[in-house]
Chains A and B, each alone.
Chain A
Amino acid sequence: MMRAVAIVGAICLSAAAAAQVGVTDFLGTGPPADFERAEAPRAFDFPADHGAHPGFRSEWWYFTGNLAAADGRHFGFQLTFFRFALAPGVIERASAWATNQAWMAHLSVTDSAGRRFHAAERLARGALGLAGAEAAPFHVWLGDWEARAAESGGGIYPLRLIARDEDVALDLTLTTAKPLVLQGENGWHRKGPEPGNASYYYAYTRLIAHGQVNIDGAAVDVSGSAWMDREWGSSALGPDLSGWDWCALQLSDGSELMLYRLRHTDGRASAFSKAEVIGPDGERRTYGAGEFAFEPRRWWTSPKTQVRYPVAWSIALAAEDLSLEIEPRLDDQELELTVRYWEGAVTATGRARGGALTAEGYLELAGY
């Protein structure tokens, strides 16, 4: 959701590698003049809306999931395609390289048993077919990393995810277990009081994944569940916000929980923090900032960057009679790429309406 929203500022993407920065270092870049803005709810148009919206400043296709081999060995994965418009409008120039669209993709694989975390990044301009997104048949790609509809016919799913780096590769097929969910107000998702400080947001909260994970040259057959987030907008994080903590969990009772808190620079949670529950039947319940507790339980300091992240959390959602304790699969799931953040596979245990409960999902910690 919020996810790399702030990376909007990462228009300076190109300042890659050497000038590695924290996600929120990009916050507060000037007002998004002349970009299209998410100022009101809209009627979604599928499959067209699965494709790119180049008039908006940023957009992403976000896949995360928890997988297991036949012997129970756990793997977490993240594959994300980000699109950024460096400048508004469409440019007409003689060179085919000319574009104002830039793309970034992140791949991470968490090998819980091997206690290793692999992360990789690709960058490309949105020209010459180096990277792009097409609605039908659905295809989003950057170089040879891609998410592609496995069947023609307009739908995204079944969807094939393919990405590889030097020592890790992913080849998964995803199918839907639950229908598409329009988040926020019918897919219009506000992040602050200002008009237009919002995005369009939908998700597939429960997907069935199977395929192969390749680690250090060994292919492992895996299956599990995944989550897809789709978001586009032109907003930046407000100037008084320093970052966010975000979590998406698939609960053993068949429901899903997505919650986040936006952090003020003084450490308080913003009033626009939110929790959403999608019941087993697909019904959606939304809770505001005052209705849930989302508190860190344990901090971990990255040996590479010396940054401290709260990697374990407690959740309490009184209205649902839900309490959960979140633990990371690995403490070290820090992505030290063009932007630096922590995003990793987590498990949770707790109780809902008096019954014991487990969950797994992904946690994102940005702005530390």
Chain B
Amino acid sequence: MSRLFARAGRRFLLRHPGQLALALAGIALGVAVVVGVDLANDSARRGFELSAALVTGRATHQLVGISGTLPDAAYARLRRESGIHRAAPVLEAPVRLPATPDRAFTLLGVDPLAEAPLRDEVTAGAGELDIVRLQTVPGTVILPRTLADELGMKVGSHFAMVAGGRERRVEVAGIIEVDRARREVAGAVLFADIATAQELTGMIGRITRIDLVLSAAEAARLESVTPPDQLLLPAESQGQAIVEMTRAFRINLTALSFLALVVGVFLIHATLSFLAVRRRRAIGTARALGVTQRQLFGVTLAEALMLGAVGTAFGLLLGHLLGAGLTGLVLRTIEDLYYAQSTAVRPALSIYIKGALLGLAATVIAALAPAIAAARIPPCALQSRAALEQRTRKRLPAMAIGGMVVAAAASAILMVDTQNLVVAFVGLFGVVAAAALLIPALTPWMIRLLQAPAAWIGGLPGRLTARGAAASLSRTSVAVTALAVATATVTGIGLMIASYRGNVADWLDQSLQADFHLRIAPGIATADSDALQPDAIAMLRGLPGVAGLSLARWSRIPTADGGLQLRAIEPGPEGWGLRIVEGNAAAARAGFERGDAVVISESLAQRRQIAVGDGFVLPAASGPVSFEVAGIFRDFSSDRGAVVMELAAFRRHWQDESLSGVGIYLAPGADDGAVRRALDRFAAASGELNLAASAELRAAAMRIFDRTFTITEVLRWLAGLVAFFGILSSLLALELERTREIGVLRAIGFVPAQIRTLVIGQTSLLGLVAGLMAVPLGIVLAGLLVYVVNERAFGWSMDFVLMPSVLGAGVLMALVAAVAAGIAPAWRLARMPLASALREE
């Protein structure tokens, strides 16, 4: 009997292909987004791990310089004095190939004679390798087989490469085979002899690091003799650092993808609820014929699982395709945010399995309530539609109370004093769940509120519209909830991005005070450049129209947790461009001026749990120096953290007189065209400087900002798309349900045009209700994203900017989605022959 009933269910779905397609689309899209994001994240993460493993090799430790590079002599000293021989010098530099301008490559300059203990690429002899040529002929490199094939290169071919800011022609001295496991990442690493690498990058006399294979005893011995301007770090931490750093970013994406799945769950839920309602008579009959509640529950759940399985299968396929697109976005964003380069690698099979299980689990969760409802339908269901509505209504207070409990729990979770990002997202999802429970209770109130204006606008049909919407809450509430949650997601993320953008724009305005900026070109080591010597600075100061200069020396301080940025500055005439968010601004500036204090970025303070007044130890040339933290400033440039100190103090402690950049301030009324021409000439003459106006830098920064949020935007709209299918599905169901009612209306004289208006009016009303309810929820979500998630993920605070346009767009989106979703049912119902409409049921 239950088998028969099951078949009836399947046939029902087959007779309503639109309903079926939408349910499948909902779950498929939800699964697709989760799988796609997971694929992109996993691919990026393992790409970083494999790249790190490739360039670190078997190193247990790395010796690095506190200024970011080491002098050549550091390696000679290590080999001659410490007796440590499993040590390989490395010069690692980003390079570009004009032949494939969109991809990032790493040039690894190595000493082939020192490589054997560390890496096999240039020693194992797999492939065609002319090591002698590599070592003795300038401008020769080794390509991985994949890249060589891609570029059509053979041993002896020449190609162009951009390194150290200059384009060079290099010769292929070898093509190496790379094992399968590393093939994907190895395609982005070129090897050269270290002498060649120095010459190509212009980093003469400097190396990036020394890779070491050390026993514990050797490490301890080396640590004890390491000069203060060098640091011995565990190699693993350096490779892991980027993976750790990008973790917050990846968690954010995963959480966003789950929002899409949640919306998908609503869809399944709506479809199954609809199914249960539609078949209450059949179910009643089945019950009367002896089908037990348990059997009914089982059959309903099995139906759901079947839907879920088919939808999930589509979802996996779609997710696979989506993943390919998202991977590029994720990698590019990580490159923009973290200056780390990697290549995508083939993702693990486990992601698809995870996605499949998630899809099925989501289906079961979505099906539970409808299955229980179906099982509870009494035998020989004479229960009327009205009675059903009554029951739905009776459940509302309980749901509302449940919603409030969940909301309280979510608030409690969010108040937990932790920096854990996952906890934040659990709280955020709790808020969404609470809203999902509260919205059905609020919907009748909202509709009642809108009844009077609807009647005023539309007369009798208007009143009918509102009443009809309110009368079929058992289905409308699900549709409204799904649409409201989805709209809130879209507006919440939109508000967060808008706030973020506004904050970054303010911060750029504050930071970029000078009119022009001269900087040592990327790829050229500041310490090696003589472009900004004292006489050049004096010349710049003396240029007609120049009111003053700000001087800066940036360096990367290596640390066990991935390094931080040290910015030594001599502020220009218009202040130091820092917004102090913790500590007294005047006191911070005074401490900075004295040179014994530093100010640190919010992200650093958060990551290391540093407060104003604490000490902060930096590895200076003469050994570790402790500075007082005089203030914490807002900084969006790097979530690794930054330290700002006074330039004279830096020069004293690091014995480094070089400069990385100069800000040029124009005198009032100065001819900025003339100044620019003079600066252009100066920059061109040095060959090592880049010149940019503040506006250009600002525009470039905003471009990067927008690019980094592309993926967030994509996910936001995917969630919106899932929501659209949700509302379409719900409304379709709702209208089918009301065929008879429409028939009656037609019978009493409503013409098809009026029916269409009525149906569209009703769906618009529902859309409006959903849109309006999404406003407060969207604001709450945005607030959570801004104040909780972002702070935990990146360590920086932001001011919340409530953009009415984003909220308005959200309401409009809900309305448009609802209207669009109502069009097809409206036309169908209006066109339906009267007799068949009345015969329905």
Contact = CB atoms under 8 A, between A and B. Distances in A.
A113 interface: no
A144 B79 contact: yes
A125 B85 CA distance: 13
Contact of B132 (A12, A17, A130): A12
A252 interface: no
B527 to A, nearest CB: 16
Interface residues of A, number: 33
B171 interface: no
Given A14-B112, A86-B132, A124 B79 contact: yes
Interface string A1-45: 000000000011111111100000000000000000000000000
Given A14-B113, A14-B115, A16-B123, A95 B204 contact: yes
Contacts of B254: none
B49 interface: no
A11 B199 CA distance: 23
B204 A17 contact: no
Q: Which 10 A-B pairs have the closest CB atoms?
A: A17-B116, A14-B112, A97-B195, A98-B195, A95-B195, A95-B198, A87-B136, A19-B125, A16-B116, A128-B76
Contacts of B116: 16-18, 123
Interface string A113-130: 000000000111101111
B136 A86 contact: yes
A102 B111 CA distance: 11
Given A97-B198, A123-B114, A11 B132 contact: yes
Given A11-B132, A16-B123, A125-B135, A93 B195 contact: yes
Contact of A86 (B85, B117, B123, B135): B135
Contacts of A100: 135-136
Q: B111, B129, B135 — which one has the most chain A CB atoms within 10 A of its CB?
A: B135
A94 B112 CA distance: 19
Interface in A96-111: 96-100, 102
Given A13-B113, A15-B129, 11 more contacts: A14-B123, A17-B123, A18-B116, A18-B125, A19-B125, A86-B135, A95-B194, A96-B205, A98-B195, A99-B135, A144-B81
A43 B76 CA distance: 35
Contact of B193 (A87, A96, A97, A129): A97
A31 to B, nearest CB: 15
Interface of chain A, main secondary structure:
loop
A98 B199 CA distance: 10
Contacts of A122: 85
Contacts of A144: 79-83
B83 A143 contact: yes
A19 B83 contact: no
Interface string A132-175: 00000000010110000000000000000000100000000000
A123 B79 CA distance: 11
Contacts of B132: 11-12, 86-87
Contacts of B129: 15
Contacts, number: 101
B324 to A, nearest CB: 36
Is the interface on chain B under 10, 10 to 19, 20 to 34, or 35 or more residues?
35 or more
A72 to B, nearest CB: 31
B114 A128 contact: no
Contacts of B112: 14
27 contacts: A14-B112, A14-B131, A15-B123, A15-B125, A15-B129, A16-B115, A16-B116, A17-B116, A18-B116, A18-B124, A19-B124, A19-B125, A91-B136, A93-B195, A93-B199, A94-B198, A95-B196, A95-B204, A97-B111, A100-B135, A100-B136, A122-B85, A123-B114, A130-B76, A144-B80, A144-B82, A144-B83
A87 B130 CA distance: 12
Given A14-B112, A93-B138, A95-B194, A143 B79 contact: yes
A96 B91 CA distance: 14
A130 B135 contact: no
Nearest to B131: A14
Nearest to A338: B116
B75 interface: yes
Interface string B105-126: 0000001111111001011110
Contacts of A123: 113-114, 116
Contact of A102 (B80, B113, B122, B196): B113
A176 B463 CA distance: 120
Contacts of B196: 95
B72 interface: yes
Given A91-B136, A143-B83, A96 B111 contact: no
Nearest to B193: A97
Query: Of B82, B83, B120, B195, which is in contact with the most chain A CB atoms at under 10 Å from its CB?
Result: B195
B8 interface: no
Contacts of A12: 131-132
Contacts of B120: 18
Interface in B776-790: none
Nearest to A120: B85
